[in-house]
Amino acid sequence: MQIKNKQKKVSAEYLDGTKVKVGIVLTRWNSDITDKLLENALEALKKSKVNSRNIRVAHVSGAVEIPFALHKLAKSREFDFLVALGCVIKGDTPHFDYVCKMAQEGALKVMIEDNIPVGFGVLTVNNLEQTKERIHVGGEAALAALELALLK
């Protein structure tokens, strides 16, 4: 059986977030970029009718710290879904690969083991210019997690 999705992207206006609570983990590393990711996420949540009083933002140092913060927020049982926002820009060493892997696998582990939707809005880019093209990912990650939370 094949199920066809009528829309490729979820639209904020079609999601009713009036009753949900969201925890957002935001990195301070590359804050000029991550602040814009957060801005886009908050705008998407607002369009989905999520009350600003139901949004908590937890700041962490960098992408490696994201999974721990997600896990702590999940364990609190206060939230219907979580969103991870960060930015890792590739340098000349393999450090980039390890950081990205830890953030991505850690977020996945929280989603599966803590049974909570996690929107993954961590940019992994080669250079600063690529961040400008992907700044919308903050909003997309928030909407993807909200959509999953509404499945429950």
- Residue 51 near residue 120 (C-beta atoms within 8 A): no
CA 116 – CA 80 distance, rounded (Å)? 7
**Residues 59, 71, 95, 136: which is the catalytic one?**
95
pLDDT score for 55: 98
| Predicted pLDDT of residue 43 | 97
Tell me which architecture the domain covering 20-33+54-149 has in CATH. Answer: 3-Layer(aba) Sandwich (3.40)
Verify whether residue 95 is a known catalytic residue: yes
Largest CA distance in the chain: 47
- Full-model pTM: 0.91
SS3 124: strand
Rounded (10°) angle between helices 31-47 and 137-149: 40
Query: Which residue type occupies 103?
Result: A
DSSP 92-120: SSTHHHHHHHHHHHHHHHHHHHTT--EEE
Map out the domains of the chain as residue ranges: 20-33+54-149
pLDDT digits (tens, 9 = 90+) for 94-151: 888 999 999 999 999 999 999 999 999 999 999 999 999 999 999 999 999 999 999 8
Which 3 state secondary structure label does DSSP give 18?
Answer: coil
Q: Which pLDDT value is given to residue 12?
A: 65
Cβ–Cβ under 8 Å, residues 33 and 73: no
Q: Tell me: the pLDDT tens digits for 9-49?
A: 667 667 889 999 999 999 999 999 999 999 999 999 999 99
Residue 6 confidence class, pLDDT cut points 50, 70, 90:
low
Judge whether 120 and 63 are in contact, CB under 8 Å. Answer: no
